[in-house]
Structure 1
Amino acid sequence: MKLKLFYCFIFLFVCISASAADVIDLKGKVIDAKTNEPLAGATVSIPDLRIAVATNLNGEFTIKSIPQRGNFVVQVQYLSYKTLTQTINLSSQTPLVFALQPSVIETHEVVITGTPITAGSRYNSTSASVVTKDQLQGSSTNLIDALAKQVPGMSQITTSQAISKPVIRGLSYNRVVTLNDGVKQQGQQWGDEHGIEMDQFSAGRVEVLRGAASLQYGSDALGGVINVIDPAIPAEGTVAGEFLTNYSSNNGLTNTSAMVTGNQNGFVWRGRGTYQNAYSYNTPAGRVINSGFNQTNASAMVGVNKPWGYSHLNFSYYKNNIGFLDAEPGDELYNTSTSRTLDFPRQDIRHYKVALNNNFLFDGGSSLKLDLGYQKNQRRELEESTTPSLFFDMNTYSLDAKYSLPEMNGWHPVVGLSGALSHSINLGEELLIPAYDEYSTGAFVYLKKMWGQNTFSAGARYDFIKNKGKALTEEDGNVKFPGFNNQFSNMSGALGFTHVFNDDLSFKANAGTAFRAPNPAELGSNGVHEGTTRYEIGDANLAPERSYQADATLEYGSGFVTGSVGIYENYIHNYIYASNTNKEQTTVVDEITGESRAYDTYRYGQVNANLYGFEGNLTLHPVPFIHFENTFSYTHAQNNTFNRPLALIPAGTLHNTLRFEPKVKGLKDFYFYAGIDNYFKQGRVDETFETAAGGYTLLNAGIGATFNIGKQPLKLYVSGTNLTNKAYYDALSRLRPGRFSQEDPTFGIYNMGRNVTFGVYIPFGTNR
């Protein structure tokens, strides 16, 4: 209750403090830099105001009723032209003219908002990739699956087809933060088979920040951040929307999503609904028994965009039902069933979220971004009926405030404050982790200075976290959970530097420390984790992880060649992971049936670890309509304490795609491509409970175009993956041999076979 009152006090204070300001209609024009011809249909956006407009037939645009104060980053995009980012002062009355350079490179320079100060990527030391809305459509089964296929240095830990956990530079679980609506996603990220509860079609775009981000986000951001950004608000007086649907041949997956958004006199709103349904996925050996899923998502936003800034209230509901195969060596794994009815065991996951996002603008150029959140995560494990055996119910309240002060002698300072309270209880009969309360608070200061073509940044942060696990004694006198009451505090620091050599070449580097506090599952687990078919035991004496890391990236983009290469080093003291090093087993007797079963026992412990590697991309444009795209990544991870490799580390990858975009009369954005995905052998495994994973190569292809039916655009596309129907086991699949069962290291389940996806996308809009 105190936390809620604190939230209300801050909100009322800033509403009173944000004085009224003069407003202007920001006008300008977008032209071709060589011919001075106007560019109709170019997109002009101001990310920090969450608004975007398109130019008219004369290349002109108007952004109505925006505050006449402060500096803001403006991004201008247009097909076949180099994206332009520029910082402008809104107090200027001079009409803006943006001259775009014709280029086959469209996204060499992008705006990054997930760092303390919004800036173009070349002036931001964080290594980042941006995935657009169009790139999130296709044959993916969830958001993380879509990102992992496109972002260098990112991969995924999968359980069947419906669950994907993000991995960035070899780090996963609670070491990667996912943001949506400016709020940290809190949904039992510690679990092997716990995915990200988020609608992949709701994002306007996604930023993937690689490397430690503890300075701004505190604990859990050792590996990086996935920042899911809502679609921009349309121009005032406009209603816009979209409808998309696709079908995948392998698993019968149907995706249908519809969205409508509007802006009327500064009152803004948006609504979206999405439904997904898939039956068991097919492999060269047959369909994996009970591997289907269905998902329902609904979200809405209402708010205001005014001279003092904006305030948006977001609601979202996520429900996912996922089937699981519970098998032992010798059991049947595959059949031919295409039934969409899920059998037991299965998961029933529900996530509710309310987020209030605000950006208050003050006189003098200062601003306050304030994000308040409430989340309710419910995870039901259904073994034999709809009555859950395990049932986690977690409620989280959060606050994140970031105050940007006016620039002083070229220095741009930012101070931040964050806090969260989580309360988790067990509502099922079977128990794995104790009920717990978690409190966290943190504060940071950040400075950034630009001079010439250089940018320097530095920051420091203090965090305090308290975990309190509830003790539990069962009716027979057995102590299930002894309870724990742990407090952790930490100081983190970071330095960053960028240098822009010229329009084509830039360099960035970072060095700093980060940390992660042990989560309640690592501290207090004692039970069978049904989704992983293993017995887990925590350790209440675990210490926080502390990371020391550095990275450097060189980026290049000319008319014919674009690319980047980055290297990184990350030493982690007290790295936490669960292992079954002594082939230990725990026998559990079912209280109802009396049957007993032996489970592999995994205990949480700590070691010192070192991870280093490289990642990058290279795209060649021999002629404007041909793109030869290549991405690559490799992570070397060592358990220094026991002088052996770390577990659950992705294999090296090399993705090659030849893409053609010829001009075809009557078609817009026509393309077709063919690609090869190369996954190398992962022989560096923890042999105490892992086996090596073989390499494999997959063939992919696709085609698509946009048609105009009258004035209505219609986008059609077809994409195919694993076209040769290759039988393979991915190194990070939890169902591959050596992970699915320790009793028989050869016992495993193949990844998805050939899959062809047919899709339709229809954008629409009206002017009032």
Structure 2
Amino acid sequence: MQLKTLFSIVLIFILPLYLFANANVTGKVTDAKTGETLPGATVTLPQLNITTITDAKGQFNIKSLPQKGTYLIQVQYIGYKTIVRSVDISAVSSLNFAMEASIIETREVVITGTPISASSRNNSTSASSVSREDLLIPSTNLIDALAKQVPGVSQITTGAGISKPVIRGLGYNRVVTLMDGVKQQGQQWGDEHGIEIDQNQADRVEVLRGAASLIYGSDAIGGVINVLEPLSPSPGSIKGEVLSSYATNNGLTNSSVMLTGNQDGFVWRGRGSYQNAYSFKTPAGYYINSGYNNTSFSGMLGFNKSWGYSHLNFSYFKNNIGFYDSDPGDPLYTNDGTSRTLDYPRQDIRQYKIALNNNFILGSGNLKLDLGYQKNQRRELDSSVPGLFFDLNTYSLDAKYYLAAQNGWQPIIGISASEGHSLNKGTEFLIPAYDQTSVGAFGYIKKTWEQSTFNVGLRFDYVNNNGKALTLADGTQKFPGFKNNFSNVSAAAGYTHIFNEDLSFKANAGSAFRAPNPAELGSNGVHEGTSRYEIGNATLKPERSYQADAALEFGHNVITGSIGVYENYVHDYIYASGAKNDQITIVDDNGNPQTYDVYRYGQVNANLYGVEGSLNLHPTGFLHLDNSFSYTHAQNTSFDKPLPLIPAGVVHNTLRFEPKIKGLRDFYASIGLDNYFSQYRIDPTFETPTNSYTLLNAGIGATVKIGRQPLKLYISGNNLTNKAYYDALSRLRPGRLSQEDPTYGVYNPGRNITFGFYLPLNIK
């Protein structure tokens, strides 16, 4: 049965559940020392997609709850330690929380992207949560924002408009991005293919570092980026937000409007966003035709009832990106790059998505069911007619049943499946049209006792690829076609222990796998966005990863931090590489010969290990020194040389002042240094080293009241010294096979000042 048919059947069966009744729980939030109530505290049940705010008396009333079950409740208030507590709903009708004051905002939050939701300290997975407040820090896109804040996360960039996530040195199809509980499928095999997600949609982002294939199957051997939209507001509420910013480097304007509401358990949300940028400026000038613009619309309709919740999410994202296609010797820069009209060549990318997210309370357990459909269309245009035109349609299903916890044991079982169908609709061809089917099943159990937890799981996956043969009109066989099947059994185990309030430990070990994608198996053509000719290998084997990591998290009010180490051995690691003098000449549609470097997909064994951590000092309530660091060492063990495309080591330092100023709320001023080490560990056949560099950043901001609405204003500066540098993961840096390559030696963006505001709206 096709997944699209199953999608329709499930809709019919779940509709009657909307008639069930609701239960309520009330409570109060107070200061633990003084007993005073705390109005405006946020009370959240992440597993049920419910949030509310305490009233003027510090009281709250949560409706639409199940009649029974144990759930995590998270309570947050600025200036206090976050509370995460497991509560049996059937055993209480009133909940009171006494919060302890703290000079820092603790990072204790509920992580939902792991098999079983848990507080970050009780979760063995190495995970970071980036809040809405942190996501407002100026950035060019969502991945850029995460790379600035999460140790171990970096990005492969093509100018300011395209960023691909890299976690602990692994990127491309080795990192899964989730939105609305569904894997984002957007041709992520390509160097210059970014993430088709509106960065303004995210209310919170969870970054899971290390292999996560146990729950997400193939492609998650590097980690997971779980993008979470705002939770449903309390019944009777209507909220919203307006935000806008302007950046001086490339004239980037970013604006977004959102409204969300809850009427007796009927929940809804709508958002519209628009971004527009001209060419980015380097210390040498504007890089030609590097502007971009994108438009996005998204919405949600659903129900929050005592039986759980059911939400229908839909989104549309359209992105236009210019790129430069010059001949050797042509200039890379211009003194006037402020036109917002994109020239050819350019990309026209469109992503359509529908996701039905459900959480049904069934007896003493609950069933989470996510159904998704995505259409990704990627056009690469040399004129109004697309040359390359990929049309990918993906249907997906993910189901997890959580059995009732007994004596500290929490078991779950799950299945997942997806169907992908890709067509070539252009006049040029790079990869064959293909069909891809994958299915998987897993079992997982977690044991909690006193201050320790232990978890273990097992998963089976099966992937089928069917590449279609293609013969051109002149009789030339472009693609011979391929058919292959891959299967794998993965296992994982984890352990956590909380020694005391100030020290905790976590460790993980496991195996994972990734099936070769159709581009790696069947490419045969010019990849316009990368200016190279790519050749696949239909005999590739799946990658198999064996990884382990461990981390200590420590600290109290004055000092907090973490230190972690990891190792990941990948057998049959896949990547495309070139060799000098391996070139091919192609005659274009105008009869002009074009010579391209040839990149061929092959396999080696690889070993990646490294360290990451943070150290944060808070000597007073208004002075904070935050530091983070990460380093990855990657070796091609088959040929005893470094692995290509590995980020340089980096240390981030930020000094932040938060004095109390009359008439202003949340005032801050910050100054920071981003220290990137040199990267001399490169594949010498097609890479060149990058030097070390330091970037100076600064920011200032505050919140003022407009009537009852708080307005956040900020100014942020990046690379204030206008440093000329090349990032080790920039696709525009020096290091192609030939210095005659027209993309040789484009600096990263220079000085950038961003002005912005954020206005949350409490309408009802």
In the superposition, the TM-score normalised over structure 2's length comes to 0.98
8 A Cα contact 1:65 1:306, kept in partner: yes
Do 1:705 and 1:717's aligned partners in 2 also have CA atoms closer than 8 Å? Answer: yes
Structure-to-structure mapping, 1:259-658, within 5 angstroms? 259-335=258-334, 336-364=336-364, 366-383=365-382, 385-590=383-588, 592-658=589-655
* Partner Cα separation in structure 1 for residue 737 and residue 600 of structure 2: 17
More divergent stretch after superposition (577-586 vs 566-575): 577-586
Unaligned residue ranges in structure 2 (runs of 5+)? none
The equivalent of 1:188 in structure 2 is: 187
Q: CA deviation at 1:28?
A: 0.8
- What is the one-letter code of the residue matched to 2:23? I
The CA distance in 2 between the partners of 1:99 and 1:327, in whole Å, is 64
Whether contact under 8 Å (1:413, 1:445) holds in the other structure is: yes
| 1:31 Cα offset (Å) | 1.0
Kept in 1: contact 2:377–2:391 (CA 8 A)? yes
What is the match of residue 173 of structure 2?
A: 174
Partners of 1:396 and 1:437 in 2: how far apart?
A: 10
Check conservation: 1:691, 1:745, Cα contact below 8 A.
no
Say if 1:700 and 1:720, in contact at 8 Å, map to a contact too: yes
Structure 2 CA distance, aligned partners of 1:285 and 1:538?
37
Structure 2 CA distance for aligned equivalents of residues 21 and 345 of structure 1: 55
CA contact (8 A) 1:159 1:193 kept: yes
State how far apart, in whole Å, the 1-side matches of 2:743 and 2:248 are. Answer: 29
Deviations 1:621-642 (A, max 9, x none): 0111111000100000000001
Kindly provide the amino acid, as one letter, of the partner of residue 721 in structure 2: T
Q: Deviations over 1:234-293 (max 9, x none)?
A: 110010000000000111110000000000011100000000000111111011110100
Match in the other structure for 2:697: 700
1:736 aligns with 2:739: no
Deviation at 1:99, TM superposition (A): 1.2
CA distance in 2, matches of 1:743, 1:232: 52
User: Is residue 329–residue 742 contact of structure 2 (8 Å, CA) maintained in 1?
Assistant: no
Q: Which moved more, 1:136-145 or 1:46-55?
A: 136-145
Q: What amino acid maps onto 1:77 in structure 2? A: Q
AA paired with 1:130?
S
Distance 1:333 1:746 in 2: 8
Using the alignment, how far apart are the partners of 1:578 and 1:111 within structure 2?
39
Identity %: 66
Q: Which residue of 2 aligns with 1:720?
A: 717
Q: Secondary structure at the match of 2:90?
A: coil
Task: Work out the CA distance in 1 between the residues paired with 2:463 and 2:134.
Answer: 37
Match of 2:744 in 1: 747
1:21 Cα offset (Å): 6.5
**8 Å Cα contact 1:22-1:68 kept in structure 2:** no
- Structure 1 residue aligned with 2:222: 223
User: How far apart in 2 are the matches of 1:5 and 1:664?
Assistant: 60
Over aligned residue pairs, what C-alpha RMSD do you find? 1.4
Kindly state the Cα deviation for residue 153 of structure 1 after the two structures are TM-superposed: 0.3
Check 1:221–1:579 CA distance in 2 against 1; reply closer, same or farther (3 A cut).
same
In the TM superposition, residue 744 of structure 1 has moved relative to its aligned partner by 6.1
What are the superposed Cα offsets for residues 208-242 of structure 1, whole Å, 9 maximum, x if unpaired? 00000000000000000000001011110010000
Q: Does the 8 Å CA contact 1:110/1:120 hold for their aligned counterparts?
A: yes
Task: From the superposition, tell whether residues 606 and 417 of structure 1 become closer, same or farther in structure 2 (CA, over 3 Å).
Answer: same
Deviation readout 1:55-95 (Å, 9 max, x if unpaired): 11211111123112101111111101111111101112342
Structure-2 separation of matches of 1:433 and 1:2: 24
**What is the TM-score with the length of structure 1 in the denominator?**
0.98
Deviation at 1:6, TM superposition (A): 2.7
For residue 568 of structure 1, what is the amino acid of its counterpart? Y
Q: Structure 1 residues 740 and 269 mapped into 2: Cα distance closer, same or farther (>3 Å)?
A: farther
Assess if the C-alpha contact under 8 Å between 1:347 and 1:382 holds in 2: yes
Superposition deviation, residue 407 in structure 1: 1.3
1:357 partner letter: N
Q: CA deviation at 1:137?
A: 1.8
Superposed CA deviations along residues 415-473 of structure 1, whole A, max 9, x for unmatched, are 00000000000000000000000000000000000001000000000000000000011
- Rounded to whole Å, the distance in 1 between the matches of 2:448 and 2:337 is 61
Answer yes or no: is the 8 Å Cα contact 2:214–2:459 preserved in 1.
Answer: yes
Hey, what's the Cα distance between the residues in 2 that align with 1:276 and 1:589? 37
Summarize the alignment of residues 86-165 of structure 1 with structure 2, pairs less than 5 Å apart: 86-165=85-164
SS in 2 for 1:523: helix
What is the CA–CA distance in structure 2 between the aligned matches of 1:134 and 1:274, rounded to whole Å? 18
Task: Confirm or deny: 8 A CA contact 1:211 1:224 kept in the other structure.
Answer: yes
2:673–2:697 Cα contact (<8 Å) kept: yes
Amino acid at match of 1:95: S
Deviation at 1:746?
10
Cα displacement (A) at 1:22: 6.1
Q: In the TM superposition, what is the alpha-carbon distance from 1:504 to its structure 2 partner?
A: 1.3
Shift of 1:166: 0.1
* CA–CA distance in structure 2, aligned partners of residues 766 and 426 of structure 1: 47
Shift of 1:19: 10
Other structure's SS at 1:135 match: helix
Shift of 1:399: 0.2
Give, as a single letter, the amino acid of the residue that structure 1 aligns with 2:510.
G
| Contact residue 206 and residue 228 of structure 1 kept, 8 A | yes
Distance 1:504 1:273, change over 3 A: same
Provide closer, same or farther for how the CA distance between residues 523 and 744 of structure 1 changes in structure 2, counting only shifts above 3 A: closer
Residue identity matched to 1:62? N
Q: CA deviation at 1:98?
A: 0.9
Task: Give distance in 2, aligned partners of 1:71 and 1:405.
Answer: 11
User: Which position in structure 2 is the counterpart of 1:69?
Assistant: 68
Question: 1:762 aligned to 2:759?
Answer: yes
CA distance in 2, matches of 1:727, 1:596: 35
Contact 1:739 1:745 in 2 (8 A): no
Q: 1:741 to 1:287 in 2, by over 3 A?
A: farther
How many angstroms apart in 2 are the aligned matches of 1:337 and 1:505?
Answer: 52
Q: Hey, what's the Cα distance between the residues in 1 that align with 2:742 and 2:649?
A: 23
Secondary structure of the residue aligned to 1:580 is: strand
2:4 match: 4
Q: Contact 1:464–1:487 at 8 Å: present in 2 too?
A: yes
Q: For the residues of structure 2 that align with 1:638 and 1:711, how far apart are their CA atoms?
A: 57
Contact 2:574 2:601 in 1 (8 A): yes
Q: What is the distance in 2 between the residues matched to 1:640 and 1:318?
A: 41
> Which amino acid in structure 2 is aligned with residue 530 of structure 1?
E
Mapping for residues 36-47 of structure 1, pairs under 5 Å: 36-47=35-46
Contact kept in structure 2, 1:212 and 1:221, CA below 8 Å: yes
1:242 aligns with 2:228: no
> Matched residue of 1:147: which SS?
helix
